[in-house]
């Protein structure tokens, strides 16, 4: 027996599935391809512009960069090249900012490689990694204002960032985080810190002890995106309980072929060259690109922000 309403029912099922996906903050990565890109990256080419709209929030995210090695400088050149076409004014740093010791390291591992960005007025907001000396919190260019962990509202769009100190997740920090998340009325809540809650890298992998403390807060208070470093690869996870997790810990150091190809949590990975993330938030969408040292886009897509599960989704959020 044929159902006369079959096409309508199918459409309803598709729409429902899309609604559920949107509610979970599922990213729609493009282009489709192997989960982990391997082999030499594509030849250098100008990055495809994101929507690049006026009034959007444009920012970079990268970690584990402060080596002072030529590779770091080469990736930094890609960041500077992107700046001319994609006018970001914020860079969130995911820790292991300065691997070296001594004051000169700040010059060779930060001020020199990112001079074009600094000169252009890009504001850096750092989090600390396990290799970072604590006095970095007083180093003005890192924008930490003397705090190990802090929150700030972005200059544009309804976005609030939460920079955490993941090497020292003391009860006071967790209580502070819950209070700040609970009190935030911003549409986008983005957390970043050094240790990844989810990672398919063999070098370190998921920091489960930290995940048990943080992930429930991210889920409960509608954090949409989390950026981390520590593992020296690029990886975007499939949404975990609706939250999209990135590892972008290869802006200076690289562990080649470190990603476990059999991992079931990887949405996209890149572990054959350095990379950073460029992102743009416009309304409910966060467009992103992961860009390699040659300027190749190794991952891209859109994250739709999480909303309270009880709220009905606007049609515009359905993709």
Partner 1 sequence: MSDFLRTIAFCAVAILWCGTAPDSSFAGLQAPVNADAAAFDAFSKRVAEYTALQKKISAALPALPAKPTPQQLDDHQRALGLGIMQARKGAKKGDVFGPDMPALIRRLLAPVFKGPDGAQVRAAIIEEPHPVVPIVNARYPDEVPLSTMPPDVLRLLPKLEEGMEFRFIDRHLILLDVKSHLIVDVIDNAMPA
Judged by the rule CB under 8 A, the positions of this chain that interact with partner 1 are 101-107, 130-135, 138-140, 166-172, 174, 195, 204, 207-210, 212-213
Query: Could you tell me the smallest distance in angstroms from the CB atom of residue 260 to partner 1?
Result: 16
Question: Is residue 104 left, alpha or beta, with left meaning phi > 0 and alpha meaning psi from -120 to 50?
Answer: alpha
CA distance 279 to 266: 19
Q: Which is nearer to partner 1, 131 or 160 (CB)?
A: 131
Q: Which is nearer to partner 1, 34 or 102 (CB)?
A: 102
Query: Could you tell me the smallest distance in angstroms from the CB atom of residue 124 to partner 1?
Result: 14
Provide the token pair at 155: 């200059």
Give 243's strand partners. Answer: 240
C-alpha angle 166-169-172 in degrees, rounded to nearest 5 = 135
Check: CB of residue 126 under 8 Å from CB of residue 109.
no
Q: Which is nearer to partner 1, 28 or 173 (CB)?
A: 173
Q: Which is nearer to partner 1, 154 or 164 (CB)?
A: 164
Query: Could you tell me the smallest distance in angstroms from the CB atom of residue 129 to partner 1?
Result: 8
Residue 178 CB: number of other CB atoms within 10 A? Answer: 14
Helix (H, G, I), strand (E, B), or coil: what is residue 315?
helix
Q: Which is nearer to partner 1, 195 or 268 (CB)?
A: 195
Q: Which is nearer to partner 1, 116 or 205 (CB)?
A: 205
Find where tokens 């907001």 sit.
125
Check: CB of residue 300 under 8 Å from CB of residue 289.
yes
Query: Could you tell me the smallest distance in angstroms from the CB atom of residue 110 to partner 1?
Result: 9
Query: Could you tell me the smallest distance in angstroms from the CB atom of residue 103 to partner 1?
Result: 4
Check: CB of residue 82 under 8 Å from CB of residue 48.
no
Quote the distance between the C-alpha of residue 268 and its chain's center. 13
Query: Could you tell me the smallest distance in angstroms from the CB atom of residue 317 to partner 1?
Result: 34
Query: Could you tell me the smallest distance in angstroms from the CB atom of residue 174 to partner 1?
Result: 7
Q: Which is nearer to partner 1, 64 or 284 (CB)?
A: 64
Provide the token pair at 305: 């922000």
Q: Which is nearer to partner 1, 110 or 227 (CB)?
A: 110
Q: Which is nearer to partner 1, 48 or 209 (CB)?
A: 209
Query: Could you tell me the smallest distance in angstroms from the CB atom of residue 113 to partner 1?
Result: 15
Burial code (b: 16+ CB inside 10 Å, e: under 16) for 99-122 equals bbeeeebbebbbeebbeebbeeeb
Check: CB of residue 175 under 8 Å from CB of residue 144.
no
Provide the token pair at 225: 């995106």
CA distance 205 to 209: 12
Check: CB of residue 80 under 8 Å from CB of residue 122.
no
Query: Could you tell me the smallest distance in angstroms from the CB atom of residue 23 to partner 1?
Result: 29
CA distance 33 to 61: 23
């Amino acid at each position: 027996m044929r159902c006369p309403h079959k096409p309508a029912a199918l459409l309803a099922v598709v729409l429902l599935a899309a609604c559920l996906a949107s509610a979970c903050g599922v990213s729609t990565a493009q282009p489709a391809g192997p989960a982990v890109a391997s082999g030499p990256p594509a030849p250098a080419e100008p990055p495809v512009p994101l929507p690049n709209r006026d009034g959007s929030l444009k920012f970079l995210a990268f970690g584990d960069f402060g080596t002072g090695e030529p590779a770091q400088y080469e990736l930094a050149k890609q960041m500077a090249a992107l700046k001319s076409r994609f006018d970001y004014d914020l860079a969130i740093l995911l820790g292991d900012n300065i691997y070296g010791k001594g004051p000169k390291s700040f010059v060779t591992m930060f001020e020199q490689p990112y001079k074009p960005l600094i000169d252009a007025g890009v504001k850096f907001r750092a989090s600390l990694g396990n290799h970072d000396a604590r006095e970095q919190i007083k180093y003005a260019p890192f924008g930490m204002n003397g705090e190990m962990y802090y929150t700030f509202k972005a200059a544009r769009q309804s976005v609030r960032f939460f920079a955490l100190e993941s090497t020292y997740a003391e009860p006071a920090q967790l209580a502070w985080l819950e209070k700040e998340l609970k009190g935030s009325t911003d549409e986008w809540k983005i957390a970043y810190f050094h240790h990844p809650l989810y990672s398919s890298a063999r070098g370190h992998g998921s920091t489960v002890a930290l995940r048990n403390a943080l992930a429930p807060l991210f889920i409960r208070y509608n954090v949409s995106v989390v950026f981390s470093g520590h593992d020296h690869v690029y990886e975007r996870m499939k949404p975990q309980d609706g939250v999209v997790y990135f590892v972008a810990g290869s802006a200076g150091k690289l562990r080649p072929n470190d990603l476990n190809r059999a991992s079931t949590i990887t949405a996209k990975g890149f572990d054959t060259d350095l990379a950073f993330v460029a992102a743009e938030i416009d309304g409910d969408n966060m467009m992103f690109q992961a860009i390699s040292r040659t300027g190749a886009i190794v991952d891209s897509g859109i994250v739709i922000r999480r909303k309270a599960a009880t709220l009905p989704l606007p049609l515009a959020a359905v993709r």
